[in-house]
Structure formats: structure tokens, C-alpha cells
Amino acid sequence: MNNIALYFPFIQVPQTRWFTQVLLYWDEVASIVPFEFIYKPEALGPYMRELVKEGLVRQIFPQEYIQNVPRFSESFFEFLDNTPIVRSIRNNFRFRYVEIHIEKLSDIGRELCERGLAYQKNSSWYFVEENTAIYFMTYLAFVLGQVEHNFIPVTDYLKNIQIHHMKINKKNLNRMIAKNNFIIDFVESILPAPSTSVSPYQIAEFKGRYRDELRRFRQRLESLFINISSIADNSLRQEKIKLARQNFKEEIEELISKMNANRWQTMLGSICAITPLVTELFTMNSLDNYTGLVTNATSSLILAVSGAFQGYRYKQELYRSPLAYAALAHKHFKLVPGPRQSRTI
């Protein structure tokens, strides 16, 4: 089964080095898109339109999936009702809005309007309070991953999870940071990728030619990551990392050589699947391992995602993604707003 990276929160994927790496190393990449965009592909923008044309990005239509989720709306509103930042926002009329397509919100849009957190722009779009919108898109992405088990949410937008609004135990947070920094340093020294802009055609041609090599490299790295991350002893872990770098040297040089043959300038590192904090907070196991990290667990989106499937089968472990190693540009989990963009949600 192919692993599909599901990009969120925006419809349009970013034209960045990070996303080029995602395109190269994942089996498939998808974005959550309204069905009506099939009839007006220009709304995707020129870059994403080319990616779709080259078969590099798959369009996921949310209504095909969420109609099968029994408590999709109810569970999200239970989350909002137990999230202090959202409750305080409702009393503040000077907040910022972002656009979300009605097809993603379903009947949630009307309820958000009644709660003063959104208003309807036209028959296709809602303006939704910014924090609520990002919470919703994160929720939607992870719900889709539960319905279609090979969807794994990825994002370059660190504002997706407003960790600074949660009650965090700083001691446990620092412990988690120390545990994960080795992963960040390791991946920085392992993963080759172009350092400059590469056209969708070039990416498709390269990926088609070396698909098996890229997949094998990623699978080996995934397996190694899982193995190393389970080692508690720091000195033993560092020894394993040192040995791994030596073992990967030949494969890294081979991939770099092939990229250079395409006249791509290359460098190492800087890929993430989802941010490290999201990795920890959005797994059932992490809630067991980090008791006390999030003291207000009832407001966690993880509970909302599982609650959406109440009474039905869903994955017991929410995305302990083998590729969720790091957000390398933010080594110490410095959560800063994502870039201001005109892309719609």
C-alpha cells in the first residue's frame, strides 16, 4: 500500500524546497480540494495545476469521505466547547477571518455562524475565525486519515496547532524536546534534495526514473527512525546514529549524483511530515507516554478525531507516522505563525 502525504491546511500546495522533498520521497501527495475545482482548474494556481497535470498531486474531495463519519460535526463542536481560546474568541469581535470552502465544512459552517465564529461570504465560501479555521482543517486532515488509512497529514504551517494556547507542563515539554532533537540532527545529515526551485515536469521525470530507489531509501530511513527513536539511552542512541550515517553514506552519494546529473544543486535535510509536537500530541501512545504534558486533555483534537468515529472502527494509533521525524527549520519547537499567504483553505 502506498503512503499518501495529505497536505493541509491550504488548498494550494506551497512552491518551496520543503514541498519538493515531499513530492520526491512520498509515494503520493494529495491536497484537500473542493469538487467544483474540477471545472475551474485555474483556481488551483499555475504551480499546483502543473503538479496535478504531471500526476504529482492528487485532489481529495472531502465530501466523498466525511459523509461516512458518524459524528463528524458533533465531535468537532465538543472540542470547541472545551477549548478556552475558542470560548474567549467568541467574546471578541475584532478577530481575523480566513476563507473555507463550504464543501469542507458541510453543516459545521452554519453552526459556526450561529456561534459568531463565521459568516457566509456566498454560496461556496465561509469566512471563518482564523484559529477556528486552522483547528478545523487540522481536525479534517486527521479524520480523513482515519477514513482512508494511507493518508498521512503533512504541513509546513506551524500555526496549525496552537500549542501555546494549551496548558503545557514546561518540564515535560523540555524532556520531549531533548528526546526529539537527535532526530532532527540525524535527518539533516541524511536526506538529499534540490536546494533550488525545480519544475513539476523535472520532478515527475526524476521520480519516474528513480521511483524504486527513492522508495527504498525512504523505507530504510523510516525503519531506522523507528528503531533509534525507541532507544532510551542517549549514548547508545548517538552510537546508532553515527553508525547509520556511515551505512547511508553510499546511498546518499548515489542519490546526490543522480540529482546533480539533472543539474540540480543539492543539499541535505529540511523535511518534515508533521511537526514534532503534533507527532507527540496526535498519537494515542503519546497521551500515555506524556501524562501531564497536556493537562486539559479533553480539549485535545486527538480526542475529537477519535470521538468522530465513536461506535465505529477506527485506527487505535493516530499517526505515529514513520516519516514524522521533524520540522527542521524550527529545531526547538519555536512555534511561530506560518507565512502570510493568499491561498485559500
Q: What is the pLDDT along the chain (345 residues), one digit of tens a residue?
A: 567 889 999 999 998 888 888 888 788 899 999 999 999 999 999 999 999 999 999 999 999 998 889 899 999 998 888 876 666 666 555 678 899 999 999 889 999 999 889 999 888 999 999 888 988 998 999 899 888 767 888 887 755 444 434 444 455 545 554 445 555 555 555 666 777 778 999 999 988 888 888 788 777 777 777 777 778 787 887 788 778 777 777 777 777 787 777 777 665 554 343 333 334 333 333 333 333 333 343 346 667 777 787 655 545 444 343 333 322 222 322 333 334 445 678
**How far is it, in rounded angstroms, from Cα 21 to Cα 307?**
33
